[in-house]
Amino acid sequence: MVYRGFVVFRPKFELVDGLSWFGRNGLKTVAQYSVESWDLSQKHVIESDRSARLIVEAGPGTGKTAVSCARLASLIHEQGVQPSKCWMISFTRTAVAEIRARLYGYLGEDSFSVKVATIDAQAWAIHSGFDAAASLTGSYERNIEDVLKLVQNNEEVQDYLDGIEHLILDEAQDFVGGRADLIQEIVQALNSEAGVTVFADEAQAIYGFADGSSRRGGGQSLLGRLQGNEKLCFEGVALDTVHRTKSMGLLRIFTDVRKILTKSPPKRGIFDEIKSGILRYANSNTLTNKSLAIDALPANSLILFRKRSQALEKSQFAECPHSLRLQGYGVNMPPWIALCFWDYQQSHIDMQSFAKRWLERVESRCPPEYDMADAWDRLVRAGGVADGSVDLKMLRTRLGKFSAPVELTNYDFGLPGPVIGTVHASKGREAENVILLMHEVDEFENASAEADEARVLFVGSTRARSTLRVGKTTKWTGSSIETNRAYRKVPDRYKKQTDKVTCMIEIGRPEDISASGVVGRAAMSQADAVKAQAWLADRAGAMVTGLNLKSEADHNYDFKLFEPGTELLLGWLSPRFRSDMWDVAKALTAGVERKVNPPSRVAYVKALGCRTVVVPPDSSELGSLHSPWAQTGFLLAPRVASFTSAGFWKAK
């Protein structure tokens, strides 16, 4: 069936003749990369020659991620491209995590040889590999600038890039400014026989500007540069079939509404036009933030906000277990890893010993969605050795990296249930049921800024597979300090708070809790650490809502996290949190003569279960930890995620 220029198609599910859809060596052949049948546009991209240079227009729901993985599998298994000479670069860690999670199913062990990274991570790999003076102390932008110079002027870097056989660029519409400069230079530095596959959709270009501000960078977009350079020989193709949904209303959003965004240049009124289209075709459009009952939603329902702080505030008052999908609250490791290994000091573990620990420690507390056998297989892939056991040192080394193996990580931050997030953090993801909360928008500065916000609405609406409900939320009045910690001043309606300013404050950013703050010798005694870890183990799969913070003078005014009533110490928040609280205090009274001090105590701090923290074997932090964590490197930390009220008292 053809619908307004797009083919409405749902893949057929079937087994391949007698092979249970596995090809040679247990891996899938070109025709078998998935149980679904490829449509003609997908097949054209997947099977194109290794030296082809394609710019693939890939609208939402057209199978971009699956096609990009299958494209790699075709190049490696059918056309002889070496896995180590294949690069896949994306703009966001979300997309990278999604690709890594899928790639093993297409390539098996070869997937570990493919270089899959964000542009910032790949730039750092080049920088640190070819510049002895490279340092992480600068900004991401400085790193990009330094690598751009290396690509332009360093012969060793140019030889290195000359060895790439195929480059895949994902979400290319989001590369602007210096990152677009760098990608362009990398493409121009490739061997003339090297292929390039670029996936992009201008209607989903939402990362060229910050969470609430203006577009970053400037000049021509990466897509415009590649399309306009005849020497690079790019061919334009399109994935023209929507696979994500059967809903006719959603299909109208995926196709008709999308067409509005692809018109250039953007015109005034485009935001209202996109909003009206989404409201018209959504399953319902009468929800409000206050009428949204999260505890009545099916598990994995996705509730989307424009602002990270809006999602945090909704989470704070949610009474049912749930997860967060927010920038800054991403990849974390499930608690079962620490439960199994926190006190295991031998160098290797076999399956039988692991199974005993799993049954005793995990099954009754926080079993994940997979079973013990699957968990063991994941450990083996990360740290397995020839005799079938898992090398704990190797496992710690891999899990302690910035990019831990995706099969042993959670992308969402929290517990099974509905997912509360932002549009930006959910791009590239999808869910059966989506709720999109639209907030009031001020007058737009220009047509470009208006188009930016219109694309955000469109991306949010196209995360749905079955149902999309749209609602309204009030205009956001919060802000954030330089470290991006969110806060919102609570208005005193009755003018009674003469000696303090009440503020909602974000607690639980990744830098707030460290291993040394939880089981460090400077944080607490070993006996207290054992009690705290046992308390966390019993609540590893539960939501805890009544924790408190208290600033202690004899601990340099850092904030301790504890259970009120029992006064059980669970750990200390980092000095960074204390410093941020002072910065919030300054921001609250900017331009006012009488200043405020940070609160001495904060109540109603929420933890969405626990996560595993892994300290790699070569880390200097191990020396500051109590035993046995100093030897094992595995520990539990509460998944603190709060946006709670705090009183900032006026200084005397």
Q: What are phi and psi of 287, to 5 degrees?
A: -70, 155
Alpha carbons 498 and 491: distance in angstroms, whole number: 12
330, part of any domain: no
351, part of any domain: yes
Both 595 and 643 in one domain: the answer is yes
* Cβ contact 98:325 at 8 Å: no
More confident residue, 583 or 91: 583
316, part of any domain: yes
Both 404 and 454 in one domain: the answer is no
Alpha carbons 426 and 416: distance in angstroms, whole number: 17
Both 469 and 491 in one domain: the answer is no
Q: What is the CATH number of the domain that holds 291?
A: 3.40.50
What residues contact residue 386 under an 8 Å CB cut-off, 6+ apart? none
CA quadruple 125, 126, 130, 136: dihedral sign: negative
Q: Residue 488, class by beta-carbon neighbours within 10 Å (0-12 exposed, 13-18 middle, 19+ buried)? A: buried
Both 444 and 526 in one domain: the answer is no
pLDDT in tens, 344-377: 999 999 999 999 999 999 999 999 999 999 999 9
Alpha carbons 412 and 325: distance in angstroms, whole number: 5
pLDDT in tens, 235-282: 999 999 999 999 999 999 999 999 999 887 778 899 999 999 999 999
Both 135 and 23 in one domain: the answer is yes
Alpha carbons 304 and 434: distance in angstroms, whole number: 7
Low-confidence winner among 2-16, 365-379, 475-489 (lowest mean pLDDT): 2-16
What's the pLDDT score for residue 256? 95
328, part of any domain: no
Both 98 and 224 in one domain: the answer is yes
* Cβ contact 615:621 at 8 Å: yes
Both 398 and 435 in one domain: the answer is no
Both 463 and 315 in one domain: the answer is yes
Q: What is the pTM of this model?
A: 0.86
* Cβ contact 56:92 at 8 Å: no
Both 317 and 423 in one domain: the answer is yes
Region 154-165: mean pLDDT is: 94
Note down the domain range covering 581.
Answer: 480-650
Boundary (domain end) residue, out of 359, 384, 408: 408
> Residue 609: pLDDT band by 50, 70, 90 thresholds?
very high
* Cβ contact 314:644 at 8 Å: no
pLDDT in tens, 201-226: 999 988 765 443 333 334 567 888 89
Boundary (domain end) residue, out of 380, 408, 436: 408
Amino acid residing at 148: L
What's the pLDDT score for residue 527? 97
More confident residue, 37 or 30: 37
* Cβ contact 266:447 at 8 Å: yes
Both 494 and 629 in one domain: the answer is yes
What's the pLDDT score for residue 95? 80
Q: Is the pLDDT of residue 15 over 70?
A: no
What residues contact residue 150 under an 8 Å CB cut-off, 6+ apart? 126, 127, 130, 131, 157
444, part of any domain: yes
Question: For the chain, what is the mean pLDDT?
Answer: 88
In a 13 Å sphere around the CA of 332, the CA atoms on its Cβ side amount to 33
What residues contact residue 24 under an 8 Å CB cut-off, 6+ apart? none
Region 314-343: mean pLDDT is: 93
What's the pLDDT score for residue 41? 96
38, part of any domain: yes
Boundary (domain end) residue, out of 408, 427, 450: 408
Q: What is the CATH number of the domain that holds 202?
A: 3.40.50.300
Domain count, the chain: 4
Q: What are phi and psi of 195, to 5 degrees?
A: -90, 160
Alpha carbons 37 and 42: distance in angstroms, whole number: 10
Region 606-635: mean pLDDT is: 97
Both 296 and 387 in one domain: the answer is no
Both 11 and 99 in one domain: the answer is yes
19, part of any domain: yes
Q: Is the pLDDT of residue 17 over 70?
A: no
594, part of any domain: yes
Pairing of strands 431-439, 464-473: parallel
